[in-house]
């Protein structure tokens, strides 16, 4: 559905993208992760035709991105772009008209999209009277009103409470399973990516560092679990951990170890016998661990066939 080939973009002396290659299959939810300034917004703008690439191309459903493909793409931007004085219904109807929906289908589709984001009862409410979370949901209704083939969601659940987040997650699943939409998702909420995405790519400084399924990415860290330790003597704990083949890591202020086998708490404490330990906890390998390894550009294994090695 979406193919990005050797895509590069600079702004003066600043390089936003460096030979980016990316392919998203039809019906797939693809999570694109990266720190601020990594190139995610530039990538979205190039897909939507808002920017011109210096090099490379974007193909949507096999056709170069441009006027011919605009109707195939729906975008929920990070900042809500709403007509504040218009009602929810009027906002969605306006964009439905812009996208060229026939008049006979417009009203039905507008109401269906408002219902999907639980705003049908607010159909006549001006956008400026909505809470921030409701405005996010209205933006989602607008993005999908023309039933796009490719739906781009940029931080879709920002400002939503947990109940509303779960509602959006279920809607995303419905759009892919039942309506066949392909979704490109950018977010800083890693649990959102773990729950929704079929594949995940991590980008930094305009380059795709690694991508693959969540299961494949987890196996790029050679550990059965992550163990975090609080101790007044971290040097001693690190030295002891190394004797058992534990790889030490710092995740923020946490001292952590990659543990190559699953051990119960008693066995773990025995390994640190004689070292003052305030607390110790076991954790599964999570996306946050892979993300930190990739973005801090530490060596990670790409030997697992479920994970795709990225060539830049």
Q: Kindly report the CATH number assigned to the domain that includes residue 274.
A: 3.30.70
**pLDDT digits over 58-93, tens only?**
999 888 888 888 889 999 998 888 999 999 999 999
Residues 6+ apart with CB under 8 A from 110: 89, 92, 93, 96, 145
Same domain, 244 and 277: yes
* Residues 112, 195 within the same domain: yes
Q: How much is the mean pLDDT over the chain?
A: 90
Tell me whether residue 157 is in a domain: yes
Q: Which percentage of the chain shows pLDDT scores above 90?
A: 74
Structural domain of residue 195, as residue ranges?
A: 2-217
Is residue 292, in this structure, part of any structural domain at all?
no
| End residue of a domain, out of 161, 184, 217 | 217
Using the predicted structure, report yes or no on whether residue 302 has a pLDDT greater than 80: no
**Which H or E element spans position 147?**
none
208, 257: one domain? no
Same domain membership, residue 161 and residue 95: yes
Q: Which of 167, 195, 217 is the last residue in one of the domains?
A: 217
Q: How many CB atoms lie within 10 A of CB 55?
A: 14
Is 153 within 8 Å of 186 (Cβ atoms)?
Answer: yes
For 115-164, write each residue's pLDDT tens digit.
Answer: 999 999 999 999 999 998 899 999 999 999 999 999 999 999 988 889 98
Task: Please say which residue of 165, 199, 217 terminates a domain.
Answer: 217
What pLDDT is stored for residue 309 in this prediction? Answer: 38
Tell whether 143 and 26 lie within a shared domain: yes
Same-domain check for residues 24 and 148: yes
Neighbours of 43 (CB within 10 A): 27
Note whether residue 119 is domain-resident.
yes
Q: Are residues 273 and 147 in the same domain?
A: no
The DSSP bridge partners found for residue 168 are none
């Amino acid at each position: 559905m979406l193919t990005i080939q050797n895509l590069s973009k600079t702004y003066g002396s600043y390089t936003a993208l460096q030979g980016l290659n990316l392919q998203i299959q039809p019906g797939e939810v693809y999570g694109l992760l990266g720190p601020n300034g990594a190139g995610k917004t530039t990538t979205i703008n190039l897909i939507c035709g808002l920017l011109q690439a210096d090099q490379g191309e974007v193909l949507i459903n096999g056709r170069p991105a441009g006027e011919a493909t605009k109707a195939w793409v729906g975008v929920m931007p990070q900042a809500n772009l709403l007509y504040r004085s218009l009602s929810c219904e009027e906002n969605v109807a306006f964009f439905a008209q812009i996208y060229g929906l026939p008049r006979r289908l417009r009203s039905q589709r507008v109401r269906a999209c408002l219902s999907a984001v639980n705003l049908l009862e607010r159909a006549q409410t001006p956008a400026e009277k909505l809470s921030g979370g409701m405005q996010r949901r209205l933006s989602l209704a607008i993005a999908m009103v023309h039933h796009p083939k490719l739906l781009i969601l940029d931080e879709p659940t920002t400002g939503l409470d947990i109940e509303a987040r779960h509602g959006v997650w279920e809607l995303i699943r419905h759009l892919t399973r039942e309506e066949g939409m392909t979704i490109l998702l950018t977010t800083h909420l890693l649990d959102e990516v773990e729950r929704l995405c079929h594949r995940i790519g991590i980008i930094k400084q305009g380059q795709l560092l690694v991508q693959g399924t969540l299961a494949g990415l987890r196996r790029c860290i050679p550990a059965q679990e992550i163990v975090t330790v609080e101790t007044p003597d971290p040097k001693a704990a690190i030295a002891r951990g190394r004797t058992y083949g534990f790889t030490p890591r710092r995740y923020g202020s946490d001292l952590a170890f990659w543990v190559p086998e699953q051990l119960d708490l008693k066995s773990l404490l025995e390994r640190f016998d004689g070292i003052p330990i305030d607390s110790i906890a076991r954790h599964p390998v999570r996306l946050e661990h892979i993300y930190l390894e990739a973005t801090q550009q530490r060596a990670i294994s790409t030997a697992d066939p479920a994970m795709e090695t990225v060539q830049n």
